[in-house]
Structure 1
Amino acid sequence: MRLKFSKEQKLLLIVLVVLFIDQASKIWVKTHMQYGDQISIFGLNWAFIHFVENNGMAFGITLGGKAGKLFLSLFRIGAVGFLIYYIRKLIQAGAGMGVLICFALILAGAIGNILDSAVYGLIFSESSYHGGLAELFPEEGGYAGLLHGKVVDMLYFPMIDTYLPEWLPIWGGDRFQFFKPVFNVADSSISVGIMSLLVFQRQFFKTPVPQTEEQPPIAAAVHSVEEE
């Protein structure tokens, strides 16, 4: 007997799986690595677990000051509320699973980074260079207030690490690294969701052929089949 899941249940499962992987990886890094520590993945010289934190958006992009941090946290919460509303509207409109999965990935990533900003400052001690491991639920309290926590990043893939030719104008001799930003599972989930929407937007958002008075129903049906 096969279990049948509704669209809502499938999307919820996707969100929960991404959130579990995201938060489990962040908590492990936070409690097992000192700030700035780096571990090679499978011995590769271009793939690392590199522990850093940031106050800002995806891939370490920052928005300065406490006011900026608070604004960003509140903006994220508002964005999550809008995403949930929009996904429900898409389901009611009969949207396909492809586009719904994309939005579920974006939603999961947004929630994952919100959790860091909202509660990590309350439940973790500070992580600092050579300052020991962070403690979960320290007796003296966390390192920041509500909505002022730092986002934990750890995925680092400098696949190209070289120096530009000296003859190149302006940037000649400068170090060139790709991919330089350090990110996390939540960032990856958001990026995959957005990129999939951009790449497959024509398949996801097909516009039905309107039926006009000059075009009888049979002709409209034939036209639709030909387009498919």
Structure 2
Amino acid sequence: MNLKKSILLIVLILVIDQLSKIYIKTNFVLGESVQVFSWFKILFIENEGAAWGTKLSDILPISESLGKLFLTIFRLFAIFGIGYWLFDIIKKKSPKVLILAVSLIFAGALGNIIDSVFYGLLFNESNNEVAELFSNEPYGNLFYGKVVDMLYFPLIDTTWPEWVPSVGGKNFRFFEPIFNIADTAISTGVGILIFFNKRAFAKTES
């Protein structure tokens, strides 16, 4: 996989990711959902933190605002590191599967960084109203954007049998996380590295 193909893949993922996020943001109120299938919904939420909505302020004794800034800056450093890794493995003509995986991870990370860095300046709030792109009343500042998520797959939505200890009668839902195209690209890239580890990191003959 050469540099041109890698860039094409990254641009394609970014375009799909950002178009889907802008569409959701400008057509859905926060929390609004549309059921596509019994096991798939479009559900608009915003993620202010890291994976699974975790915030640094939940872990460290710092304010939410400072935690958000640190997280966005960390993401920026991370994307530069991933970008350098991608350029390096392409230059070294590493296995195609490795370049594919890192390209997916880079594209996904960059897609979410765009939200974190710029969305606070581009959109107004989505609470009880549909947001406007290039709003005169943006909800945040540079580096304080919220990541837009919308893909929800409650594959199993049922209730535990009454006879099951401690959870009997309670709701059970699988799969709970709500994510976006960028998250999908990252997860796919990581999955490729895990399942095709030997091929991805195979030593090339000099």
TM-score higher than 0.5 here?
A: yes
2:87 corresponds to: 88
Q: Report the secondary structure of 2:168's partner residue.
A: coil
For each residue in 1:83-109, what CA deviation from the matched residue of structure 2 results, as whole angstroms up to 9, or x when unmatched? 011112212222022110100000000
5 Å-filtered alignment, 1:133-212, equals 133-139=130-136, 141-207=137-203
1:32 corresponds to: 27
Pair 58,21 (structure 1): closer, same or farther in 2 beyond 3 Å: farther
Q: Report the secondary structure of 1:49's partner residue.
A: strand
- % identity of equivalent residues: 43
Q: Report the secondary structure of 1:105's partner residue.
A: helix
Pair 164,63 (structure 1): closer, same or farther in 2 beyond 3 Å: farther
Note if contact 1:125-1:136 (Cα within 8 Å) is conserved in structure 2.
Answer: yes
Q: Report the secondary structure of 1:99's partner residue.
A: helix
Distance across 2 between alignment mates of 1:12 and 1:192: 17
Distance across 1 between alignment mates of 2:152 and 2:53: 11
Pair 102,189 (structure 1): closer, same or farther in 2 beyond 3 Å: same
Which structure 1 segments of 5+ residues have no match?
A: 1-5, 210-228
Note if contact 1:70-1:147 (Cα within 8 Å) is conserved in structure 2.
Answer: yes
Note if contact 2:95-2:201 (Cα within 8 Å) is conserved in structure 1.
Answer: no
Amino acid at match of 2:79: V
5 Å-filtered alignment, 1:33-182, equals 33-41=28-36, 44-64=37-57, 65-128=64-127, 131-139=128-136, 141-182=137-178
Note if contact 1:55-1:62 (Cα within 8 Å) is conserved in structure 2.
Answer: yes
1:225 corresponds to: none
Note if contact 1:125-1:143 (Cα within 8 Å) is conserved in structure 2.
Answer: yes
Amino acid at match of 1:191: S
* Structure 1, 46-55 or 160-169: larger mean CA deviation: 160-169
Deviation at 1:166, TM superposition (A): 2.8
Amino acid at match of 1:136: L
Which structure 2 segments of 5+ residues have no match?
A: 58-63
Query: TM-score, structure 2 length as denominator?
Result: 0.91
Q: Say whether 1:20 aligns with 2:15.
A: yes
Runs of 4+ in 1 over 3 A off after TM superposition: 58-64
Q: Report the secondary structure of 2:90's partner residue.
A: helix
Report the number of matched residues: 200
Deviation at 1:77, TM superposition (A): 0.5
